[in-house]
Amino acid sequence: MVSKTATLFICLIPALTPLFLFGFYPLTYAFYLSFTFYNLKTPIEPYFYGLGNYFALSEDPVFIRALQATGLFALITVPLITLISLGQALLLASQFKGVKYLQVLALLPWGIPLVVSSTVYRLFFDFNFGLFNDLMVKLGVINQYVSWLSMPWSALFIVALAHIWVNTPLPTLLILAGIQSIPKELYEAAYIDGAKTFARFKMVTWNWLRPIMLIVLVYSSLSALWCFDPIYVITAGGPADFTKLITFYTYEKMFSYLNFGHAGAITILILGLTGLLIYAYFRALRLGRVRLRV
Amino acid sequence: MALNTKKSNLGLYIAALIVVIWIVFPIYWMINLSVQTEKEIYSVPPYYIPPNPNINNYWFIFDIDAAVKYFLEQGMSLFLFIPGSIKDFPRAILNSVIIAGVVMIYNLIAGTLGSFALTRIRFKGAMPLFYLSIVGRLLPPVVIAVPYYVIIRSIGLLDTLWSVIMVHIMFTMPFTIWILNTYLLGIPTDIEDAARVDGYSYFEILRKITFPIIKPAIVAIAITSFMISYGEFFYALLLTKTAASRTIPVIIGSAMSEPRVVKGLICAMGVLAMIPAMAIIIIFRRYLIRGLVAGAVK
Amino acid sequence: MSGQEKVVSRRKFLGAVGGLAAATVVGWGLAGYYAAQPPREVVRTVTQTQTVTQTVTQTVGVTTTPPTTTATLPPLSKFVDIEWGIWSWGVELCNDNARIFNENNTDMKLHVTDLGANYMANLFARYAAGDPPDIYYATPDIAYVVQYRKWAADIEDYFPEARRYLDDIYPGMREFYINPFTGKVHGLCYWAGPYVFAYNKRHLSEAGIGAPPKNYEEVAEQARIIKQKGICEYPIGALWSWGFPALWYNIMLGYHEPKPGTRFLFDEDLNPIFDDRGTPFFEAIKWLLERVVVDKTISPGIREYDESGITTALGSGTVTFCPNLPDYDIAGANVPELKESGNITMCLNPGTGYAVYHPTNYSTSTRCMEKGRDNQIAVWRVMQFLGGKTTNARPDFERGEYFVCNRLIRQYGVTSAYRPVMEDPTNKEVLRKLKIDPDLLLAQYEKLTTILWRDPVLTPWWADWFSSPSSEAGGRVKPKFEEFLTGARSYSDADILNFLKEIAEDWKRAKKEAGM
């Protein structure tokens, strides 16, 4: 019989090796960068810079704008992804003819590389040859073609749409699996208690789904914070920096401005932000701290 | 399911219709563009239904010589609309499937073992390890390209499938562990505790008791890791150099940046790129349902 | 939810936080280790740059026959593998060229790496990681940065005969084959061509206009007529994404003839001189904004036009004029699949006739040169095959032909900086077949100015400020200008002036950050 320690090692090493090798070396590197003056476009050698990069960022209007854009983007996508996937999952968990096909269908957008789906949405909203303009004209909403990608809010929504479309299947699947694992007795008990549909949903489904909703919220927030491909393909940060999300800005700082110090500082800030966000979700869903059965 | 009553059936169908439109329309549009010629794609107003559907674009992807010949016959000898990289497309499908498949299997095995250890074996440091496993993944991928590249180069794996596989494993593993942990924690441990008292080893418990229960979650993480790996673009581009290791998103991304490429070709490639992912979804759906049934009995 | 799980105790939680803190400390220690590593070699200051640039310009003007040395390359002593980094354009052709090269050079191997759509980012990532490709494309802004970092080597340092190629290059283009820091030839030509003024002649004749515009006032006038007659809703388009700087220079050049020492944006000490009423930049902005706001002949959606976008828009007749189209895209706008095939043509840049151009070179990395003499020879053989004269894929300066340059122009209409390539009768015939009028194009070749890249010099932060002509990312001026298009700024003189003052401040800050 394998000893407990040996079991632990056998179980943990395959999972944790890649994490530590590829997760913490870059993290260390980002830490190092964030406290270093490291700008390859100046003749100045890299040197220890303390919090200099952070101060420089706080004075950078574009950084503030990128933060705002990311915040707006998250405010649009996170609730939408959560609601759409919850709705889809509830629908897919119901029983009606053809639901099995729908279950497969609902997962399809996931199999499409984000690069491709972004292209499709870009063609969709194309100024001259796009479907959307034609549709709007036919419906009489507008009387001549409009460049949707050149208006700040519509551009942001188009990027969000491309993002949401690809990012709802996973939460849907998670919530669906969660709903299907709800013991029937719980519903029956609630039914006997005379609870109405909504009350039943709140009492049983919602309570049961809470930890999964947490994952969904974290997942959608993280994917909003990391959204890169749609920006790159659809708007390149425009118009007027309105859709310049923090990742795109970091990318610019890193590979266009070659300012590795700033890029590192942004990374650490995003890291902190993400940590805070996750903590906030834990609190909001009243799960206490992570529940580990020890 | 208690949600199902006859009264709400009509509402359900309406909701289903909306979902179908939301999902299918962009895919339909992609297919629609992929069977049109360049001239038809760039017409105002756009064609909602392809006027003369033809599968030339699909044919060209697999037979670039035929494509060249076709354009020669069309009197376009000097203008090849075909990006050279698509010659590698069949190979790229294979690469993508191999990479995503290995990532998926690794996640299945290592993720199950890891989260089992973190939740079912009592030891000091389980929680810090859990946190640490997630923290490493909170970095936005774009920033850490340079250190990744340095690591991969220093272990001599550049331009191999392994380089992409390893990075993708790193991307998917934290999420895998988290999802599985959550599932495991939601399941009472009475049976496992009893089995432990009966003298079963941890591995026996995992195999005989825990695994059947968490099957749906495992299916979910399997599909997740497959899809994340399948669609990843940035690192696949950075780490691969030749046709031997390029993946589908890299080929499509490269083709898209050619200024004079037929948009229909890109859409055709997008449609083809969907097929392996679709197959995975359909195959795993059976297991998903079966696993869910098994889980629901408990 | 079963209530069996205990909530983790406070102590355990603190333990976890402690663990994280420990990890941070370790990270910090490692960071210290890295910080203590020997510093990189010192990079020259840019003050030197300017003087060097000036001497270079003089040298180029004076030098007629550069020193000739022996051109026969010694054989390789070992098998060498050369990596050629390309962007995703004409990948098929590049692979085919590599195949031809390899068939004729069995003692070495050339292999192609596609650095993708985000070429600049990938190239810089490879450089920052210490593993650059051996030979790759460099636009002037990329070339400037890699030369500034000393990442790129000058081929002339190793093979002085490289200088002989300057004679074949159009005089107005020579400057870009010379490293501004050292005055040496750093690479050969991949492609070079003007940003031309393209227009749709069918639209013009339908509107009853006899001749293409003579100046930018006439462009505006003709656009108004075309719009009034309902031929085209927004007749003026432009290559926005990577053509942004060129757009402004072409408009400014339309009004102001470039003379030696003409400066539009900065003086010799790199101080902004554009931030006032009536400066060329001010007038160019005003011209464009009046078309957007008053005439409505330019769509606020002009920012959607990337290279593919503007080419198809021209070809399908949704725009009539484009003041900054890369020359070879005329062929793209005339492809038989598009509605306006055969109608898109070019004229000299309205007004003075001068236009700016885009030169791209093959550049080689210092790292490759440090690998040894065999690698140097191999790279030079590759570079001459790709951008020089060869016979059977072997360097042959005296009798060889510009094999790859000829292929590029014959297959895609991609033009070159070499006079023998541009004036070759076969190539001219091919251009004509591609619907690019070679005579008009060559007339524009005679009226080119370097001012886009030499106003007065490039700086490392130039592309970050103006927007890069080789990447979608970066740039301060472009997003700020787009505020006019979204309506966040009005087009009044005061607002334009404000805009200019703001971007001048951005420039000064960038300059200060760079320690100048």
pLDDT at residue number C512: 84
pLDDT band at residue A77 under the 50/70/90 scheme: very high
pLDDT at residue number A76: 92
**Residues of C391-417 as b/e, b for ≥16 C-beta within 10 angstroms?**
eebebbbeebebbbbbbbbbbbbbbbb
- C280-290 vs C216-228: helix axis angle to the nearest 10? 10
- Tracing tokens 């333990």 back to the chain, one arrives at C15
Provide the CATH topology of domain A51-112+168-284: MetI-like fold (1.10.3720)
CA gap A32, C31 in Å, rounded: 5
Within 8 A of A266 by CB-CB distance, chain B residues are 143
pLDDT at residue number B288: 60
- Whether the CB of C505 is below 8 Å from some CB of chain A: the reply is no
CA gap C69, C457 in Å, rounded: 31
* 3-state SS class at A145: coil
- DSSP letter for each residue of C304-345: G--HHHHHHHHHTTS-SEEEEEETTHHHHHT-TTSTTTTTEE
> Which of the residues A53, A147, A185, A260 would you substitute to probe the C interface, choosing the one with the greatest number of C C-beta atoms within 10 Å?
A147
Q: In the structure encoding, which two tokens stand for residue C120, read together?
A: 């600049």
pLDDT at residue number C42: 38
- Tracing tokens 């029956």 back to the chain, one arrives at A188
- Whether the CB of C128 is below 8 Å from some CB of chain A: the reply is yes
CA gap B45, A278 in Å, rounded: 46
> Which of the residues C13, C88, C233, C303 would you substitute to probe the A interface, choosing the one with the greatest number of A C-beta atoms within 10 Å?
C303
Residue A80 has pLDDT above 90, yes or no: yes
Q: Indicate the pairing of strand C448-449 with strand C355-365.
A: parallel
User: Is A76 within 8 Å of B195 (Cβ atoms)?
Assistant: no
User: Is A249 within 8 Å of A73 (Cβ atoms)?
Assistant: no
- Provide long-range contacts, Cβ within 8 A and 24+ apart, for C426-430: C430/B78
- Tell me which CATH homologous superfamily contains domain C193-352+476-513: Periplasmic binding protein-like II (3.40.190.10)
| Selection from B289, B286, B116 nearest residue B209 by Cα | B116
* Interface contact A27-B43, CB threshold 8 A: no
- C280-290 vs C493-513: helix axis angle to the nearest 10? 130
- Tracing tokens 């370097």 back to the chain, one arrives at C450
CA gap C354, B5 in Å, rounded: 76
User: Is B164 within 8 Å of B92 (Cβ atoms)?
Assistant: no
Question: What are the beta bridge partners of residue C362?
Answer: C137
User: Is B245 within 8 Å of B196 (Cβ atoms)?
Assistant: no
Q: Indicate the pairing of strand C80-86 with strand C108-114.
A: parallel
pLDDT at residue number B292: 43
Neighbours of chain B (3+ CB pairs under 8 A): A, C
- Whether the CB of C514 is below 8 Å from some CB of chain A: the reply is yes
pLDDT at residue number B287: 65
Q: In the structure encoding, which two tokens stand for residue B59, read together?
A: 């044919």
Full 3-state SS string of C365-411: EHHHHCCCHHHHHHHHHHHHHHHCCEECCEECCCCCECHHHHHHHHH
- Tracing tokens 């001219």 back to the chain, one arrives at C428
DSSP conformation class of A253: I
* Interface contact A14-B151, CB threshold 8 A: no
Q: In the structure encoding, which two tokens stand for residue C439, read together?
A: 């005579």
pLDDT digits (tens), chain C, 516 positions: 333 334 444 444 444 555 555 555 555 544 444 444 434 443 333 333 333 333 343 344 434 444 444 457 788 888 888 999 888 777 778 888 888 888 888 888 888 888 877 788 888 888 887 888 999 999 888 888 888 888 888 888 888 888 888 888 888 788 888 888 888 888 899 988 899 999 998 998 988 888 888 889 888 889 989 999 888 889 999 998 888 889 999 999 888 888 887 888 888 888 888 888 888 898 899 899 989 988 888 988 888 888 888 888 888 888 999 999 988 888 888 887 788 888 999 998 998 889 988 888 999 998 888 888 888 888 898 998 988 888 888 888 888 889 888 888 888 888 888 888 888 898 888 888 888 888 888 888 888 888 888 888 888 888 888 887 777 776 888 888 988 888 888 888 888 999 999 899 988 888 887 777
Q: In the structure encoding, which two tokens stand for residue C119, read together?
A: 């070429």
Provide the CATH topology of domain B85-297: MetI-like fold (1.10.3720)
The closest CB to that of A240, out of C1, C43, C482, belongs to C482
Higher pLDDT, residue B245 or C59? B245
* Interface contact A177-B217, CB threshold 8 A: yes
User: Is A212 within 8 Å of B182 (Cβ atoms)?
Assistant: yes
Judged on CB neighbours under 10 Å (0-12, 13-18, 19+), C442 is middle
CA gap C173, A197 in Å, rounded: 76
pLDDT at residue number C197: 92
CA gap C61, B22 in Å, rounded: 64
* Interface contact B127-C16, CB threshold 8 A: yes
Domain parsing of chain B, residue ranges: 6-84, 85-297
- Whether the CB of A44 is below 8 Å from some CB of chain C: the reply is yes
Amino acid in position A72: L
Question: What are the beta bridge partners of residue C152?
Answer: C365
Full 3-state SS string of C178-237: ECCCCCCECCCEEEEEEEEEEEEHHHHHHCCCCCCCCCHHHHHHHHHHHHHCCCCCCCEC
A92-96, B282-286, C76-80, C473-477: least confidently modelled range: B282-286
**C-alpha distances in angstroms, B124 versus B127, B193, B264, C21, C404?**
8, 19, 57, 17, 66
CB atoms within 10 A of CB C352: 17
Residue A41 has pLDDT above 70, yes or no: yes
Judged on CB neighbours under 10 Å (0-12, 13-18, 19+), A54 is middle
Domain parsing of chain A, residue ranges: 51-112+168-284
A133-137, A227-231, B186-190, C463-467: least confidently modelled range: B186-190
Within 8 A of C149 by CB-CB distance, chain A residues are 40
Q: In the structure encoding, which two tokens stand for residue B241, read together?
A: 């150099």
CA gap C185, C178 in Å, rounded: 4
Residue C123's closest chain B neighbor by CA? B238
Higher pLDDT, residue C367 or B45? C367
| Selection from B117, B226, B116 nearest residue B171 by Cα | B226
* 3-state SS class at A152: helix
CB atoms within 10 A of CB B99: 26
**C-alpha distances in angstroms, B73 versus A96, B69, B78, B79, C335?**
53, 6, 11, 12, 14
Alpha carbon C207 to its chain centroid, in Å, reads 35
- Closest-CA distance of chain B to residue A84, Å: 9
CA gap C99, C393 in Å, rounded: 10
What share of chain A in percent tops pLDDT 90?
7
User: Is A240 within 8 Å of C480 (Cβ atoms)?
Assistant: yes
CA gap B222, A177 in Å, rounded: 13
> Which of the residues A25, A28, A146 would you substitute to probe the C interface, choosing the one with the greatest number of C C-beta atoms within 10 Å?
A28
pLDDT at residue number B103: 92
Q: In the structure encoding, which two tokens stand for residue B48, read together?
A: 């909602």
CB atoms within 10 A of CB C342: 13
Q: In the structure encoding, which two tokens stand for residue B52, read together?
A: 């003369």
Tell me the CATH class for C49-187+358-400: alpha beta
CA gap A190, B107 in Å, rounded: 38
* Interface contact B237-C111, CB threshold 8 A: no
- Closest-CA distance of chain B to residue C332, Å: 7
Full 3-state SS string of chain B: CCCCCHHHHHHHHHHHHHHHHHHHHHHHHHHHHHCCCHHHHCCCCCCCCCCCCCCHHHHHHHCHHHHHHHHHHCCCCCCCCCCHHHHHHHHHHHHHHHHHHHHHHHHHHHHHHHHHHHHHCCCCCHHHHHHHHHHCCCCCHHHHHHHHHHHHHHCCCCCCHHHHHHHHHHHHHHHHHHHHHHHHHCCCCHHHHHHHHCCCCHHHHHHHHHHHHHHHHHHHHHHHHHHHHHHCCHHHHHHCCCCCCCCHHHHHHHHHCCCCCCHHHHHHHHHHHHHHHHHHHHHHHHHHHHHHHHHHHC
User: Is B272 within 8 Å of B196 (Cβ atoms)?
Assistant: no
Q: What is the pTM of this model?
A: 0.81
* 3-state SS class at C413: coil
pLDDT at residue number B85: 67
| Selection from B74, B288, B121, B169 nearest residue A177 by Cα | B288
> Which of the residues A206, A241, A255 would you substitute to probe the C interface, choosing the one with the greatest number of C C-beta atoms within 10 Å?
A255
pLDDT at residue number C53: 37
pLDDT band at residue A75 under the 50/70/90 scheme: very high
Contacts of A280 (CB under 8 A, 6+ apart): none
pLDDT band at residue B80 under the 50/70/90 scheme: low
Residue C383 gets the label, from left (phi > 0), alpha (psi -120 to 50) or beta, of alpha
- Whether the CB of A177 is below 8 Å from some CB of chain B: the reply is yes
Q: What is the dihedral of CA C253, C256, C261, C267, to 10 degrees?
A: -80
